[in-house]
Amino acid sequence: MIEIAVLFAISCVGLAMALNLWRLARGPTTADRILALDTMTINAIALMVLMQIQQGSAVYFEAALLLAMVGFLGTVAYCKFLLRGDIIE
C-alpha cells in the first residue's frame, strides 16, 4: 500500500517539476523564472524524501537539507541582484 502511495506521490511531484520547467522556460518576466526555480528546488526536496521512503534508506536527508538551504540562499541572491544590481553591497 505504501509502495503504491509513494509511486503516486513521485509521479505527482515529477509532473509538478515538468510544469515548473515549462514556467522556467516560458517566463515571461525574470521574477517568474526565479519563482519557478525556487519551486523546482522545493519539489526536488520532496522527490528526495519520497525516494528514501521508497528505498527504505536514509542517505538523502543531508542532501535534502543542503538543497533546502542552498535553494533559499540562491533565491534571495537572485532577488537581491534584481533589486539592487549587486548581491553584497
Partner 1 sequence: MMDAGPVEILISAILVIGGFFALVGSWGLARMPSLMTRLHGPTKVTTLGVGSCLIASMIYFPAVQGTYSAHELLITLFLFLTAPITANMIAKAHLHRQGKAIDPNPMDDIAEGLPETGRGTGWATFDGRSADPSDPPL
**Please, what sign has the CA dihedral across residues 63, 56, 19, 21?**
positive
72 binding partner 1? (CB under 8 A):
yes
Q: 63: which residues sit within 8 A by CB, 6+ positions away?
A: 48
Let me know: does 58 contact 69? Beta carbons within 8 Å: no
User: Which one of residues 25, 36, 70, 87 is an interface residue with partner 1 (CB under 8 A)?
Assistant: 36
55 binding partner 1? (CB under 8 A):
no
Termini Cα distance of the chain: 53
Nearer to partner 1, 29 or 89 (CB): 29
**Class of residue 50 by CB neighbours under 10 A (exposed 0-12, middle 13-18, buried 19+):** buried
83 binding partner 1? (CB under 8 A):
yes
Please report, as ranges, the residues that interact with partner 1 according to CB under 8 A. 1-2, 4-6, 8-13, 15-17, 19-20, 22-23, 28-32, 34-36, 38-39, 42-43, 45-46, 49-50, 52-53, 56, 58, 61-62, 64-65, 68-69, 72, 75-76, 79-80, 82-83
